[in-house]
Amino acid sequence: GDLAGLVSLVANTAYLRALESDSNELRMRRESLTLPTPKKFSAPRAALEKTYESLCEQQPIGRKLFQQFLLTSDPQCVAVAEFLEELNNWSAAEDGTKEKAKQRILSKFCQPQSQTFLSFLTAEDVKACLSLFDKNDKAAVEQMREATRKFLKGKPFLEYMRSPFYYRFLQWKECERQKITDRYFYEFRSLGRGGFGEVCAVQVKHTGQMYACKKLDKNRLKKKGGERLALMEKQILEKVNSAFIVNLAYAYQSKTHLCLVMTLMSGGDLRFHIYELGKRGIRMERVVYYAAQIVAGILHLHSMDIVYRDLKPENVLLDAKGQCRLSDLGLAVELPKGKMTCQRAGTTGYMAPEILKQEYYRTSVDWWALGCSIYEMVSGRLPFKDFREKVQNSEVTRRTLEDDCKFEDKSFDGPTKDIINHFLKKKVLFRLGCRNDDPRTHTFFKNINFHRLEAGLVEPPWVPKPNVVYSKDSEDFRDNSEIKDVKFDAKDEKFFKEFSTGAVSVRWQREIIDSGVFDELNNPEVNGHGQENMWT
Ligand code: ADP
Ligand code: MG
Ligand code: MG
């Protein structure tokens, strides 16, 4: 009634306001923030990962501090820092400015008469780089990087480790390792619900960064035996790193829930876009774009020997810009090359014949599910199950195994029918994506430049409106079937702990840099004699 309407309006308003958080307000909120003193044991712990690559290249804060160190060091180090910067500029440059960037690099750093000449480059290095540069090759950058890496790993790295910059790094690491609890976030309305609990929008108090928090109910997990799957989902999410798959930023536990804090996808899931916004289905230009991003996400998973197994529009989410990512890796499995499984997994209507027949399978099942998903995006129904059709699973299975896919909707054009037919080949050997072939080369994708797509340079064909919540009212997610009287034993507690690893290092450091907190706290006056628990 009216009250429910009001409750949902208030929930939406708070969430939409947080999405537009004002940076000044945030800065006020964290005025008292200071950096902790590194604990005695934190230095040896850092030693475990004390490689140059990890400390000075892979970790965003480490990389920044090492660069700042170089700039205060001797002239050769300053030159190297500038050189690395120029090299990045060259990589990112579009064709028009690429030649200029290259000439600048050559004259500044590769000419012996230049003041910023890198004297450690051998004549061989310079010659090799020149010829590589002419081919505009990625290998050129790699070779130059390798040459400088060799130099930096020596004396500069040793000096860095004894410098205040490294002390500052340890301070940040101390913050990174803090225990994460509910108090680290503000919580907003729920965005959806899944098998083990709801997904809420949350905001990190001190950075203002918005995320989605998937809350898995501990009682429910135990009762339904979902614990192992939850841990798998967390471990796989943590491992993948793609623009087309949601990222994991934190994993922690509250008294009642295990929580996965991930990229916030405020544009809603594709199921919502197919069915809840007027005419069923999605416009073809968008279908092609989303399908291309899904393909890129699937290929990333397959390259890591991960089979997704739960591809369907409901699990593909849009961000605020209108780009999509795969989410919900709860059914994903890692199957090293040559290993197969015959486990039944997936959602009715999207499961491939080989799963339904309980045969051994690997990555083929994801391409089948993509065929079903493209079909559904176009026509608002599944190939073997009509919209809202009440039908037994066994009948869907029968149709999947025996029937041909029909295209009654007039929205299907030639290339679309063709790619769907090739993804829906009942025999794996004939299926697109399973014959040592590349689905990206199909004519369905003729207007997509996958290189540019992967670099985030292709404009989305549709952008979500900033003041709309693309999900059903949060009231609809209420779940009344509470499960009580579940007792946890030592084994459960051990599992909860294994799950709750806190901040994911690279994501956390990015958040600190992107939010401006790094720059605010990095001035020399912030000396690290703050209270112990200032972050939560
Ligand atoms: P389950 O594994 O139980 O199916 P999901 O991970 O699919 O749970 O999440 C359930 C729903 O919550 C999704 O269908 C989606 O609508 C919403 N949701 C999940 N993750 C996000 C996210 N990162 N951003 C926004 N909404 C999300
Ligand atoms: Mg789901
Ligand atoms: Mg799931």
Q: Which of 191, 222, 125 is nearest to 491 (CA)?
A: 222
* CA distances, 409 to each of 349, 371, 403 (Å): 18, 16, 17
Q: What is the pLDDT of residues 99-116, one digit of tens each?
A: 888 888 888 988 888 888
Can you say how many angstroms the Cα of residue 434 is from the centroid of all Cα atoms in its chain? 25
State residue 474's pLDDT score.
61
State residue 455's pLDDT score.
86
State residue 151's pLDDT score.
93
Q: What is the pLDDT of residues 416-437, one digit of tens each?
A: 999 999 999 999 999 999 999 9
Ligand closest to 464 (CA) is 1
State residue 532's pLDDT score.
41
Q: Whose CA is nearest to atom 4 of ligand 1?
A: 194
Q: Which atom of ligand 1 is nearest to the CA of 196?
A: 3
Crossing angle for the helix pair 95-109 and 75-92, nearest 10 degrees?
Answer: 160
Buried-exposed string 217-252: b where 16+ CB fall within 10 A, e elsewhere: bbbbbbeeebbebbbbbbbbbbebebbbbbbbbbbb
State residue 350's pLDDT score.
98
Per the CB < 8 A criterion, the answer to whether 202 and 210 are in contact is yes
Q: Is 214 annotated as a binding residue?
A: yes
State residue 25's pLDDT score.
73
d(CA 250, CA 228): 18
Ligand closest to 194 (CA) is 1
Output 260 or 97, whichever has higher pLDDT. Answer: 260
Output 413 or 13, whichever has higher pLDDT. Answer: 413
Catalytic residues: 310
* Residue 328 alpha carbon to ligand 3 centre in Å: 5
Q: Whose CA is nearest to atom 13 of ligand 1?
A: 192
Q: Whose CA is nearest to atom 25 of ligand 1?
A: 265
Q: What is the DSSP letter of 39?
A: P
Band (pLDDT 50/70/90 cuts) for residue 529 is very low
d(CA 192, CA 363): 28
480, pLDDT greater than 80: no
34, pLDDT greater than 90: no
Q: Whose CA is nearest to atom 11 of ligand 1?
A: 192
* CA distances, 10 to each of 14, 193, 209, 215 (Å): 6, 19, 21, 22
Mean pLDDT, residues 65-88: 92
State residue 531's pLDDT score.
42
Please state, rounded to an integer, the average pLDDT across all residues of the chain: 89
Per the CB < 8 A criterion, the answer to whether 405 and 375 are in contact is yes
Q: What is the pLDDT of residues 195-222, one digit of tens each?
A: 888 999 999 998 999 999 999 999 999 9
Pair of tokens at residue 347: 């959602």
Q: Which of 385, 321, 299, 387 is nearest to 350 (CA)?
A: 385
The interface predicted TM-score (ipTM) is 0.98
Output 530 or 350, whichever has higher pLDDT. Answer: 350
Q: How many Cα atoms within 13 Å fall on the side-chain side of residue 76?
A: 10
530, pLDDT greater than 80: no
d(CA 139, CA 333): 33
Q: What is the DSSP string of 309-329?
A: ---SGGGEEE-TTS-EEE---
Q: What is the pLDDT of residues 127-177, one digit of tens each?
A: 777 777 766 667 777 888 888 999 999 999 999 999 999 999 999 999 999
Say which residues have a Cβ less than 8 Å from residue 231's Cβ, sequence separation at least 6: 495, 498, 499
State residue 467's pLDDT score.
82
* Residue 239 alpha carbon to ligand 2 centre in Å: 19
State residue 256's pLDDT score.
93
For a ligand 1 pocket test, name from 250, 327, 347, 474 the mutation site with the most ligand atoms within 8 angstroms of its C-beta: 327
Pair of tokens at residue 191: 């965005």
* Greatest extent of the chain over all pairs of C-alpha atoms, in Å: 80
Q: What is the pLDDT of residues 246-297, one digit of tens each?
A: 999 999 999 999 999 999 999 999 999 999 888 899 999 999 999 999 999 9
* Residue 19 alpha carbon to ligand 1 centre in Å: 18
Q: Which atom of ligand 1 is nearest to the CA of 192?
A: 12
Can you say how many angstroms the Cα of residue 162 is from the centroid of all Cα atoms in its chain? 35
- Where does residue 260 rank: exposed (0-12), middle (13-18), buried (19+ CB within 10 A)? buried
Q: Which atom of ligand 1 is nearest to the CA of 266?
A: 25
Can you say how many angstroms the Cα of residue 14 is from the centroid of all Cα atoms in its chain? 25
In the structure, ligand 2 is a single-atom ion and the residues with CB under 5 Å from it are: 315, 328
State residue 434's pLDDT score.
96
* Residue 331 alpha carbon to ligand 2 centre in Å: 9
Q: What is the DSSP letter of 375?
A: H
Crossing angle for the helix pair 490-499 and 227-239, nearest 10 degrees?
Answer: 20
Q: Whose CA is nearest to atom 9 of ligand 1?
A: 194
Per the CB < 8 A criterion, the answer to whether 7 and 491 are in contact is no
- Of 205-209, 328-332, 519-523, the poorest mean pLDDT is in 519-523
Find the residues whose C-beta lies inside 6 A of ligand 1. 191-196, 199, 212, 214, 246, 262-265, 269, 314-315, 317, 327-328, 330, 471
- Where does residue 124 rank: exposed (0-12), middle (13-18), buried (19+ CB within 10 A)? exposed
* Residue 373 alpha carbon to ligand 2 centre in Å: 14
In DSSP terms, which residues pair with 198 in a beta bridge? 193
Band (pLDDT 50/70/90 cuts) for residue 43 is low
Q: What is the pLDDT of residues 352-398, one digit of tens each?
A: 999 999 999 999 999 999 999 999 999 999 999 999 999 999 999 99
* CA distances, 91 to each of 128, 136, 173, 376 (Å): 17, 9, 30, 39
Q: Which atom of ligand 1 is nearest to the CA of 265?
A: 24
- At residue 374, φ and ψ (nearest 5 deg) are -65, -45
